[in-house]
Structure 1
Amino acid sequence: MSVDDRFVEDYREGQGELPPGTRSEIITGPVTDWATDFSHVEAEWAADPYPIQDDLRQRCPIARTERFGGGWLPTRYEDVAAIAYDTERFSSRSIVMSNFRPPRDLAPVGSTPPISSDPPFHRDARKLLLPAFTKTAVARREAATRAFCHSLIDAFEGQAVVDAARDYAQHIPIRVIADMLGFPPEDGPRFSEFIENVLEGVNLPPEERQARMSGLFDYLLAQIRDHVDRPRDDLTTYLIEAELYGRKLEPSHVAGTMALLLIAGIDTTWSAIGASLWHLAKTPADRERLVAEPGLLPTAMEEFLRVYAPVTMARLVKEDMSWNGVDMKADDWILLSFPAANRDPAQFDRAGEVVIDREVNRHAAFGLGIHRCVGSHLARMELQIALEVWLERIPRFHLADPAGVTWARGQVRGPRTLPLGIGG
């Protein structure tokens, strides 16, 4: 069997077939009561989820929905943290809430290890990635990232209005992750399409969603094939050659981890950069202060991460149980809203305000528990350099069209269009 056949066969076997009775109903539509029928893919949620979360936290801290085959939404920090740390009762085998649940025998590895892995496998799969994401390893990418940010702004020459999401924020993590994985930088537009399919296509029928996912893995297979033929010093070759428990990684493990880095490594940082620029564009006092006090940026950046945390993760209930007053069933979804946890007044003083000089800020933007983001150093580096370069080169900017700002739907929320007036 060729390398190509082996990777394809192993990946498809690892994904499993759609089980009989898989529910493929449409899961979007008007929400009349967020406490009993929430849907994180609605336009209302994408535009401004925070009033909804605040209301739920007061009157129904663990909301329920029958959509997606049934799920729960905790909104208090203590509940989100408790579930995130509880690997005995909650599985990570699928972290994207949709109308399809992967088969239980996919655990403990999951389709995108280590984020989809349960203990004890998770620990060892995560350790394989740590060397690539240390502060030292990330620091080696700072100069290239800074130069690339300058080149993006150079391209704005002569423009009075730019789309800071499409023309700036999204390109930075795409270039960084493509360089890390050894992918052609010109494939960037394809990465954006993959992200939309995975994170925003959850309302698709399972068969169509799986077909679109196959497109992503077909691309990854082509990259794996190229790296097998021409090994080089990048993360893809490292994964192909890595060993776990005395043998090479399963092909589905390699492809799944590459998919994780490609999707999560791009969309989360793209969203954080865009949300930070959105805030500064609509808040002149904060923008002017950071231009005058650039040393405050690392502190302000942590506050942007707290207030505009982009990531929400899912878990699956392992067995029927009563948990904090609600009766959960096996395979119910749990939607862990780190954005809601970050705005809990019981955890943060002035939780709903943006305080750019906040000194104590133990936010959960990078997650909690064993799945806390392995790439947090990389994300912080990209966010800080993106904001530093922008504020240095474009110290005055504003929302050119507030109504023209659009936000991604789904579990990673950030601006998808962000028209800013620059200069003047």
Structure 2
Amino acid sequence: MTVDDRFGTDFEEQRRQRLGTARGERRHGPVTDWATDFSHVEPEWYQDPYPIQDDLRQRCPIAHTERFGGAWLPTRYEDVAAVAYDTDKFSSRAIIMNDMRPPLDIAPVGAAPPISSDPPFHHSARKLLLPAFTKTAVGKLEPGTRAFCHELIDSFAGREVIDAARDYASHIPMRVIGDMLGFPPEDRARFGEFVEGVLEGIGDEPEVRLARGKKLNDYLLAQIQDHLANPRDDLTTYLLNVEMGGHKLDPFHVAGTMTLLLIAGIDTTWSAIGASLWHLAKTPADRERLVAEPGLLPTAMEEFLRAYAPVTMARLVREDMHWQGVDMKADDWILLSFPAANRDPAQFDRADEVVIDREVNRHAAFGLGIHRCVGSHLARMELRVALEVWLQRIPEFTLADPSAVAWAPGQVRGPRALPLRIA
């Protein structure tokens, strides 16, 4: 079977149609008031969003903007949780906030199932992925991940300064996810380009984003063609063969889930590893304690996830309504900032501090409700192993140039440039 046989020659045109049409034009420009004109693609936000979120939580807990065609930003944990759990009022058919609105008929599947799926479809789509992400399945990946982390650090020999984001953190999930999907190792360098194109360029013109999406789509179709011709034991072959409701998955379901695994599976962990190393580089007391007490790392890791949660998700309002004191319109965005929820002092003691021995830590870094991250066991394993190996091999390190640290824009925040002095 070929791609054309199952996916059809008009797959690309159908994909474009499913992205929808633009609503609203203004994306960029100075923010006049974060309560009425917020933007998650402005430098003030992605370089340091926490003071902005803290201010909004005090004076305007649900901020609004006309950018991106209209959007809302709750900053209290209880409001973020309320949206995340309410699938009747809020749809997940699109989860990356931009000025495009996908058509209603894309629900309940969405563009990247199951994260973009609404009930009842969501339950079945999510269930398909669970076997690949159990603790047992993830445990089998740990030895190879650990060995790869050592290989990366071996490559630093003789260097005084390295970019821990590009030279270390990014490579780990690229290797793990690429292998799980059965993609060629030599293609890993392209994965970062795909991640940045999908998640960091959301403020660009629609045609620019469509062109980037086509590159990713073409790549995935090539991988699908190869797997149809040469089936093997990996997630791509599994998705092509598995049945749901007695039928093989729709082509858009297959391609959308592959996109989700590749993009979200890489960027979230890349960002979490980088943010954790950034914290330890600038906080010698925490670094020294973890080196002396390696058994504390799992607890500290949860605190890094809370304090530097990388992921913000989006929902779409289903119909006009009055909610929590504000008037929302159908197809308004709701930006679910799990980072803001994790810093809410009503939910966490010393919420603005990083407490690496925090005992009670029910953070929302992996999301809340039915869309809680299906790959949380995998992400935790990668983060733990990456930090364990780093601290064993490089117990002393500092920021080489704090001003050179650069953070990713958009809805997954982590260091994109992280120069560390390691010798």
Secondary structure of the corresponding residue to residue 344 of structure 1: coil
Q: Which residue of 2 aligns with 1:239?
A: 239
Percent identity over the alignment is 77
Q: Which residue of 2 aligns with 1:63?
A: 63
AA in 2 matched with 1:365: A
Deviation of residue 10 (structure 1)?
4.3
Q: Which residue of 1 aligns with 2:353?
A: 353
Q: Is the 8 A contact 1:320 1:330 kept in 2?
A: yes
**Distance of 1:198 and 1:379 partners within structure 2:** 20
Q: Is the 8 A contact 1:11 1:251 kept in 2?
A: no
Q: Which residue of 1 aligns with 2:103?
A: 103
Structure 1 residue ranges without an equivalent (≥5): none
CA 1:164–1:2 in structure 2 vs 1: closer, same or farther (change >3 Å)?
closer
Report matched runs for 1:145-294 at 5 Å: 145-294=145-294
* Alignment TM-score, normalising by the size of structure 1: 0.98
**Distance of 1:15 and 1:112 partners within structure 2:** 14
AA in 2 matched with 1:418: L
Q: Is the 8 A contact 1:11 1:255 kept in 2?
A: no
**Distance of 2:349 and 2:211 partners within structure 1:** 46
**Distance of 2:260 and 2:102 partners within structure 1:** 16
**Distance of 2:340 and 2:24 partners within structure 1:** 28
Secondary structure of the corresponding residue to residue 416 of structure 1: strand
Q: Which residue of 2 aligns with 1:299?
A: 299
Q: Tell me, yes or no, if structure 1 residue 315 matches structure 2 residue 315.
A: yes
- CA deviations on 1:253-289 (whole Å, 9 max, x unpaired) are 0010000000000000000000000000000000000
Q: Which residue of 1 aligns with 2:421?
A: 421
Report matched runs for 1:13-24 at 5 Å: 13=14, 15-16=16-17, 22-23=22-23
What is the number of residues matched between the two proteins? 422
AA in 2 matched with 1:161: V
Secondary structure of the corresponding residue to residue 108 of structure 2: coil
Q: Is the 8 A contact 1:314 1:335 kept in 2?
A: yes
Deviation of residue 115 (structure 1)?
0.3
Q: Is the 8 A contact 2:178 2:185 kept in 1?
A: yes
Q: Is the 8 A contact 2:38 2:63 kept in 1?
A: yes
Q: Which residue of 2 aligns with 1:383?
A: 383
AA in 1 matched with 2:224: I
**Distance of 2:20 and 2:95 partners within structure 1:** 18
CA 1:365–1:83 in structure 2 vs 1: closer, same or farther (change >3 Å)?
same
- CA deviations on 1:372-394 (whole Å, 9 max, x unpaired) are 00000000000000000000000
AA in 2 matched with 1:92: S
**Distance of 2:5 and 2:410 partners within structure 1:** 34
Q: Which residue of 2 aligns with 1:30?
A: 30
Q: Is the 8 A contact 1:11 1:252 kept in 2?
A: no
Structure 2 residue ranges without an equivalent (≥5): none
**Distance of 1:97 and 1:233 partners within structure 2:** 35
- CA deviations on 1:14-72 (whole Å, 9 max, x unpaired) are 5526656x346240110010000000011111110000000000000000000000000
AA in 2 matched with 1:363: H
CA 1:33–1:214 in structure 2 vs 1: closer, same or farther (change >3 Å)?
same
Q: Is the 8 A contact 2:18 2:111 kept in 1?
A: no
Q: Is the 8 A contact 2:25 2:69 kept in 1?
A: no
Q: Is the 8 A contact 1:26 1:204 kept in 2?
A: no
**Distance of 2:133 and 2:12 partners within structure 1:** 26
* The 10-residue stretch of structure 1 (202-211 or 270-279) with the greater mean CA deviation from structure 2: 202-211
Provide the aligned C-alpha RMSD in A: 1.2
AA in 1 matched with 2:259: A
**Distance of 1:369 and 1:397 partners within structure 2:** 38
AA in 1 matched with 2:136: T
Q: Tell me, yes or no, if structure 1 residue 363 matches structure 2 residue 363.
A: yes
**Distance of 1:197 and 1:95 partners within structure 2:** 15
**Distance of 1:365 and 1:292 partners within structure 2:** 27
Deviation of residue 205 (structure 1)?
1.8
Q: Which residue of 1 aligns with 2:81?
A: 81
Q: Is the 8 A contact 2:3 2:224 kept in 1?
A: no
Q: Is the 8 A contact 2:152 2:168 kept in 1?
A: yes
**Distance of 2:26 and 2:329 partners within structure 1:** 22
CA 1:5–1:214 in structure 2 vs 1: closer, same or farther (change >3 Å)?
farther
AA in 2 matched with 1:89: K
AA in 2 matched with 1:397: F
